[in-house]
Amino acid sequence: MKPLPLRPSTNYLLDCLPCQDRASFLTHCEAVNLVFGEVISEPDGQIQHVYFPLNSFVSLIAQLSGRERLEVTMVGSEGMLGMPLILGLDESPLRALVQGAGPALRMPAADFGQHLAQSPALQALLKRYLYVLMHQLSQVAACTHFHHVEARLARWLLMTQDRAHSDHLHLTHAFLATMLGVRRAGITLAAMALQARGLIRYHRGDITVLDRTRLIEAACGCYAADCRLYRRVITEGGAV
């Protein structure tokens, strides 16, 4: 968790802020390095910081009483971690697991509350982001129920690729299986099918996206819907 040299923010949400608010916000941020496998928040744990991933990304995982786990969304440089603070609560229902190591900006929860109170632009922006999250959550419920492993895997790879800003991912079948809530063997089959169609290549945990366009076709419509929603609500609607 060593501090990194401060560098221009490449978090998309922060980039959307007016210069004033953004500058003031950034001076109170600390640059940290998220390491793979780190758990940033536990269900019912207290939120200590908000995080704005830069090149890193984090899975948000729902956990049922029976210990079943399912990834419900992903946060990278397009988002923020610690949304319940917007709602005035300092607990998170979801486990946040660092899935792509890399730099992030973070701010203590208390400071964040102050900035939020002082910057209407920040408030408006993060409310919009919260709307996107809610939309995604309800969509994920239906997607997970109706769509098959292969399409869901394709979608998941695309989302990961977007957040990793790279064609090259490091993910074992076993890890993918727990994220999608299916068996490892199920991932093997789906991954082989995608590889046979020339959409991806993988070897001992190294996955390369070969043909992004056709991978989008192989994924369920939920990926495209997600992208459209974000663009409409944040990128275009986010005139703050």
Partner DNA sequence: CTGCGTGTGTTTCCTGGCGCACCGACGGTA
Partner DNA sequence: TACCGTCGGTGCGCCAGGAAACACACGCAG
- Give contact residues for DNA (rule: CB under 7 A): 148-150, 172-174, 181-186, 188-189, 191-192, 202-205
Least Å from the CB of residue 228 to DNA:
24
Contacts for 195 with CB less than 8 Å, ≥ 6 apart = 201, 202
DSSP state of 43: T
Burial grade of 100 (CB within 10 A; 0-12, 13-18, 19 or more): buried
Q: What is the pattern of x (binds a copy of itself, CB under 8 A) and - over residues 160-199?
A: ---------------------x------------------
Least Å from the CB of residue 93 to DNA:
23
> Toward a copy of itself, which CB reaches closer, 32 or 154?
154
- Estimate the crossing angle of helix 109-118 against helix 120-146, to 10 degrees: 120
In sequence order, the β-bridge partners of residue 169 are 207
Euclidean distance between CA atoms 238 and 240, whole angstroms: 6
Least Å from the CB of residue 32 to a copy of itself:
25
> Toward a copy of itself, which CB reaches closer, 210 or 229?
229
The verdict on 134 binding a copy of itself (CB under 8 A) reads yes
List binders of a copy of itself among 63-102 (CB under 8 A): 63-66, 68-70, 72, 83-84, 86-89, 93-94
The verdict on 60 binding a copy of itself (CB under 8 A) reads yes
- SS3 call for 198: coil
> Toward DNA, which CB reaches closer, 184 or 231?
184
Closest CA to 53 of 24, 28, 82: 82
